Amino acid sequence: MTSELLETAPVKLAPERHAWPMRLWLATPDWAFRVLGVAFFCSYLIYRTQKYWRYDFWQFVPYYKFSDGRMMLMPWVPVLVDLTFVLIALGFCLRLRPLRRADDGWMVGFTLFVAFAPLIPVELPTLAGLFSSQWQVACNKFLWPESISFTRVMLGSALVTLGNLIDLWGYTVLTRSFGIVPEARELKTTGPYRFVRHPVYLGQFIAQGGVWLFLAQLHIVWIAFYVIFVGLQLYRSKLEDRVLADAFGDEGRQWQERTFWFV
């Protein structure tokens, strides 16, 4: 069940105590953030899903090539990733207004950076290709190994699949409470939220572990990237727990006490 919602307008804070970026943030109506979110994620979806109609989809499918030439294809991996972005875009369309707008500029900037951090290295070769094809090739070689063992492919793909399935479950239940910055909309206690406070983050930890620990180059840079990402997300989860506890009082704190999380 979910907590009773406050259908009144969000609490408005005195803008004069904030720097101009936060004054602009607080003055922007919620519908504008929905439009921006839908526009960004739908544009990113179009960019990602061109492989379905413009290019050969199978060129983008993870695979393992056996010594005898046979290939094992895993087409569900990119499909699951794309479905998570579909649900994020849907969440921006349907989400409720926050009970209180986030008004801490550092917290807003931090959470936005952490949310989009996993996209940076993945899209780095494409960005490098805008300047030089040689840069793009070099980035791809640094990011992805030319050959990979069967064990690493299986472990990496299994973790990416499991993590994205957990993400899809979490996003499906979250929908109207979806947000990138810590803001309270409603308290979700159904689905995976019965057991885990942050199932979407848990799914990301598992899926990103599959990418950076098994499918990417086995390099200290990518291992460190993964460890730092997990640490930042854990801190982000603490910020969200604080906001939910403040918004929902004893109900929020009791839910946090009976569900699992790492910190």
* Range of lowest pLDDT (43-57, 141-155, 198-212): 43-57
Is 8 or 92 the better-scoring residue by pLDDT?
92
For residues 244 and 185, the answer to whether their CB atoms sit within 8 Å is no
Q: What is the 3-state secondary structure (H, E, C) of 72-137?
A: EECCHHHHHHHHHHHHHHHHHHHCCCCCECCCCHHHHHHHHHHHHCCHHHHHHHHHHHCCCHHHHH
Q: What is the pLDDT of residue 17?
A: 61
Answer yes or no: is pLDDT of 12 > 70: no
Answer yes or no: is pLDDT of 9 > 80: no
Model confidence at 187, in pLDDT bands (50, 70, 90)? very high
User: Tell me: the pLDDT tens digits for 108-126?
Assistant: 999 999 999 999 999 999 9
Q: What is the pLDDT of residue 43?
A: 94
How far is residue 11's CA from residue 98's CA, in Å, rounded to a whole number?
Answer: 9
Q: What is the pLDDT of residue 66?
A: 80
Average pLDDT (138-151) is 90
Average pLDDT (30-39) is 94
Tokens 């199978």 identify what position? 58
**CATH class for the domain made up of 17-258:** mainly alpha
Q: For the chain, give every domain's residue range.
A: 17-258
